[in-house]
Amino acid sequence: MIQTLLFSLIAAPISAVLGLLIAYLLTRRTFVGKQSLEFVTLLCFVVPGTVAGVSYVVAFNHSPIYLTDTAAIIVLSMVTRNMPIGMRACMAALQQLDKLLDEASFSLRVSSLKTLLFVTLPLLKPAFLSALVTSFVRSMTMISAIVFLVSPSTRVATSYILNRVEDGAYGLAVAYGSTLIMVMVLIIGLFGWLMKDKQRF
């Protein structure tokens, strides 16, 4: 369970940040390959988890990039599967913001990075935090792609529960499943409390 928490805590912020950056590019910039970028990003979510898991094994099972049986391939799988969620959440929020805010910032000769950090990002905080929590929860409960990537040293909670069910140890599987659900409820409850506390001020 601790290892699953660690992987999810690493993958969730990366997914949310990458989703935010891609959403910003797609909604605020015009460049060649814009539609292709959106298609490829969404493809990571559309492809079935079993197909994605096998693809990771085939792609990263030989040099120069050998990631099989490592924590890196688990985190990579979590990031690519959850990044489109953050992207769509941030795109929806960005489309509600007037582009005049960016234009006003640019007219004052402020760089794009500073505009994103100090003008756009504060307004996107609720959407970004929502994407962060959703990515964390999905990472904690991911199974379809992860089941092909785990090893004895990188075992996660969902694969452990599945193995216990296959072994007939239903009591242990239920105990782990209940613990996983409790962790999810606590995380979502903490997120809701933080959002209410921020709205109060």
What pLDDT was estimated at residue 197?
58
Range of the domain at 112: 1-197
Q: Could you tell me the CATH number of the domain that includes residue 9?
A: 1.10.3720.10
Cβ contacts of 114 within 8 Å, gap of 6 or more: 105
pTM value is 0.81
Residue range 19-66, pLDDT digits in tens: 888 888 888 877 888 888 888 888 878 888 888 888 888 888 877 888
Answer for the pair 50, 148: CB distance below 8 angstroms, yes or no: yes
Asked whether residue 184 carries a pLDDT value surpassing 50, the answer given is yes
Neighbouring residues of 154: CB distance < 8 A, sequence distance ≥ 6 = 3, 69, 70, 71, 74
Count the domains in the chain.
Answer: 1
Q: Is the pLDDT of residue 201 over 50?
A: no
Decide: 15 and 135 in contact? Cβ < 8 Å. Answer: yes
The percentage of the chain sitting over the pLDDT mark of 90, rounded to a whole number, equals: 1
Q: What is the pLDDT of residue 14?
A: 92
